[in-house]
Amino acid sequence: MLSYSFSPLLYADFFKWELLVSEKGYGTESLNFPIVAEGKIDFLNETFMCSMRNFWTKIESELLLEGKTLECLHDNKKRVVSLICRDNNKNRKYNKNKELYPFAKDGLRLIPELGADSPYLELRCYF
């Protein structure tokens, strides 16, 4: 008798992921970088070392969860933001109604001491 076992955790991008970089602070002009793989991200100058980590996906019945973590190091201070995207609508798989779905987002200031002038990173995902 053969027996198969599958883990409910898997890696796949059901959502679109991107990183918005605003060099002059939150709410200013930003550049979009699509997130396609784990690892180091090169975007600002060499004083900031950022990477994407902990990619995961979980599917349970009609619920789809996907998460990623952004880690940045500057002056020996680590800043971390993790984001989880959720979807529990079975019709979204095919998007039959051509609906636009809102994105989930979370961000961080790379140099919080600068306040509003700090470079700002926003990790976001959408279906």
Contacts of 100 (CB under 8 A, 6+ apart): none
Which domain range does residue 21 map to? 9-104
Q: Which pLDDT score, from 0 to 100, does residue 42 have?
A: 78
Question: What tokens were used for 94?
Answer: 């095919």
Question: Is 116 part of a structural domain of the chain?
Answer: no
Question: Is 111 part of a structural domain of the chain?
Answer: no
Q: How many domains does the chain have?
A: 1
Question: Is 117 part of a structural domain of the chain?
Answer: no
pTM of this structure: 0.76
Question: Is 67 part of a structural domain of the chain?
Answer: yes
Q: What's the half-sphere exposure (Cβ side, CA atoms, 13 Å) at 73?
A: 6
Q: Which residues of the chain have pLDDT under 70?
A: 1-13, 44-45, 88-102
Question: Is 118 part of a structural domain of the chain?
Answer: no
